[in-house]
Amino acid sequence: MHRYRSHTCAQLEKGDVGQTARLSGWVHRIRDHGGLLFIDLRDHYGLTQCVVDPDSPAFALAETVRAEWVIRVDGEVKARTPETTNRNLPTGEVEVFIREIEVLGKSAELPLPVFGEPDYPEDTRLRYRFIDLRRETLHANIVKRSKIIAAMREGMTEAGFGEYSTPILTASSPEGARDFLVPSRMHPGKFFALPQAPQQYKQLLMVAGFDRYFQIAPCFRDEDPRADRLPGEFYQLDLEMSFVTQEEIWDTLTPIMTSVFEQFAEGKRVTKDWPRIPYDTAMRKYGTDKPDLRNPIEMQDVTDHFRDSGFKVFANQIANDPKVEVWAIPAKNKAGAEPIGRAFCDRMNAWAQGEGQPGLGYIFFKEGAGSGPIAKNIGEERTDALRAQLGLEDGDAVFFVCGVPAKFAAFAGSARTRIGTDLDLVDLDSFELCWIVDFPFYEWDEDEKKLDFAHNPFSMPQGGLDALQNADPLTIKAYQYDAVCNGFEIASGSIRNQEPETMIAAFEKVGLSKADVEDKFGGLYRAFQYGAPPHGGAAFGIDRVVMLLCGAQNLREITPFPMNQQAEDLLMGAPSEPTARQLRELHLRVNMPAEKKG
C-alpha cells in the first residue's frame, strides 16, 4: 500500500465497502458522540467521514487530535445506514472505521477557523492565506480558476493559436498607468519596467510572421486598487491575429469564450450570438459602455415631448441650449408585481438627490392615465404620447433626466441600474455577453485642454490617414472594441495601426512629434518600416472572467495570493526595505518624503 494513501478523500463509495483504505489529509472537524469519535478528514479532492471507537487501538491517539492536524488513517470501509447517509458528499454513503492513526503534522492554535468559514478580518485572512485557502469556497474558486484557464488554452489551441511568451523585463510603455520600475545593476541609473501588457511584443510577433499568438500573460500596473482589479498585477488572455478584419476577430473569439462560459456556468444561460453594439448606441440606451444586458431597461430620447411644454424646468433648458436632451428611463414592471406608485418614485427621487442630482422626475401610470407633477404639467396628450412611445401600461412608470447627455449619461446609467435592481428586473440566472464597437478614437481632455486618445493609441482609425487629415478628430471612430459581460468589461481589443505614416499622424494630433514616436515606440515603429501585415487582437481579463463564473464579489476571493487594499503582501511582508548592500550594488539612494507636520 502507498505510504500515505490508497484513495483520496473524495474517492470512496459503496463499491469499496469491506476494503481496507488508507487516507491522508487535514482534520476538518471532530465530533464526540457518546464515546464514538467522528473525524471528518479533508484533502484537496474532498472529505470522508472517519469513525473510531474505544475498542480501536487508535482511540487513545485519536482523542489527542485537533482541527487542522495532518494525519494518516488506516481502516475498514463500511456502509452508512440509510438515515446517516449524506447525499451532499460524493463519499456520503460510506465511512472509514479507523484501526491506525499516524500524526503527520500538528497544528498550532488557528489564527482563523477553516470549518464553517465565518467572516474574519481581511488582514488576518491575507496574513495567513495558506490557512484561508483551505476553506472550501475559496479553495474551490482557485481550482475553478485553474480549470477556466485550461479551457481557455484548449480553445485557443484548437483555433490554431500558438502560445508564445514575451519578456517580463522590458521598457516603459504608455498604457495609461504607472510602471513598476526595476533598477539595472549592470547599467547604473537605468531601469527596466514590468510590462503593463505585452502590447508591443505581440504586434512585433505579427510583423515577424507568427500568424496567431496567445499567452496567459501577467501584467503589472502601479495603480490604486479598484473593485474589479487587484493592485500590482493581474492576468489576461492575450492574443493577436494577422490578416484579419475586426469581424473575423469577433467571429473567432465569440465561440471560444462562449464555450468557456458554458463549461462553468452551472446551469445559467449564456449568450451564444453576442450582439455588436456601437459605443454611441450603448451610451444612449444604457448610459455606459459596459452595459448589464440582464437588465431589460433601455433608455430613449423623449426631448420633443417636452419641447415648448408646460413643464418649464425641462422646456426652458431645451429652448436655451440645442445640446440639451431629455432621456426617459422606462420602468416596465414585472407581470403580476405590485404596481409602481408614488412611494417608489419618491424613493428614486431621494436617491438621485443623494447622488448629488437635483432630483429624478417621473410619471407613473394607473387607471389609464399618468400621475405625478410632470404629467400634470405637460398635459394628457403629451403624457399619452410618451406612454405610447415607451410601450408602458398601468402599473409601470418612467423616470426622466435632462441636460447635456455627455454630463448626465453616467448618472442616467446608474439610475437605470438602480431601477432594474429595485424592481427585480435583472435576470440573475444568465451571463449576457456582447461586443461594444466603434469607440471614439480621440477625446477632449478638459484639464489639459488638448486632444488625447480615448482608448488604445495603437488602434487603426476608421477612415485611415484620410480621416486624420481631413475629419474633425472628435468624430473619428476607431476599429476598437470591448467585450462586456453582466456590466463588466472583460476584454478590450482593436485592429492595429500598422502604417507608419498613419501612426505618426495619429500621434501628432495629441501633440507628439515623429521624433517622439520614434523615441517612445522605436521598436514598433522601426518594425513597421519592414513589411507589417494588417493585424489585430484583444486581451480578456482572466481575473474578471473567473470572478463572474465563481459568483464572487471580490477579486481576492478568486486569487491565490492577493495584496490588500494598501498594495501590501501581508503573507510575505512585501514591499520591504532594501539592504544597504542592495542599494550600493544598484547605485541607488532612498529619498524618503518629508513627514507632514501638524
Q: Where are the domains of the chain?
A: 14-105, 118-270+489-495+538-593, 295-426
Q: Where are the alpha helices (DSSP H) in 37-192?
A: 59-62, 122-127, 129-132, 136-158
Kind of pairing between the strands at 47-52 and 94-105: parallel
Beta bridge partners of 488: 485
pLDDT tens by residue, 216-271: 999 999 987 766 667 889 999 999 999 999 999 999 999 999 999 999 999 999 99
Q: Are 308 and 379 in contact (CB under 8 A)?
A: no
Q: How many CB atoms lie within 10 A of CB 180?
A: 17
Beta bridge partners of 31: 38
Examine the pLDDT at 427 and tell me if it is beyond 70: yes
Helix (H) or strand (E) holding 430: strand 430-431
Examine the pLDDT at 175 and tell me if it is beyond 60: no
pLDDT tens by residue, 272-296: 999 999 999 999 999 999 999 999 9
Spatial CA neighbour of 324 closest among 309, 334, 338, 314: 314
Distance of CA 156 to the CA centre of its chain: 20
What are the residues whose beta carbons fall under 8 Å from the beta carbon of 268, sequence distance 6 or more? 429, 430, 431
CATH class assigned to 118-270+489-495+538-593: alpha beta
Whether the pTM exceeds 0.85: the reply is yes
In the structure grid, which three cell numbers stand for residue 224, read together?
Answer: 490604486
- Residue 136 CA to residue 28 CA, distance in Å, equals 10
Kind of pairing between the strands at 232-242 and 269-270: unpaired
**Grid cell 488554452 in the structure block, residue:** 153
- Would you state the pLDDT for residue 334? 87
CATH 3.40.50.970 fits 14-105, yes or no: no
pLDDT tens by residue, 346-386: 999 999 999 999 999 999 999 999 999 999 999 999 999 99
- Residue 44 CA to residue 62 CA, distance in Å, equals 22
Same CATH fold, 295-426 and 14-105?
A: no
* DSSP result, 195-254: -S-SHHHHHHHHHTT--EEEEEEEEEE----BTTB-SEEEEEEEEEEES--HHHHHHHHH
**Grid cell 501585415 in the structure block, residue:** 533
- Would you state the pLDDT for residue 332? 94
Which is higher by pLDDT, 103 or 446? 103
Examine the pLDDT at 387 and tell me if it is beyond 60: yes
| CATH no. for 295-426 | 3.30.1360.30
How confident is the prediction for the chain on average, in pLDDT?
Answer: 95
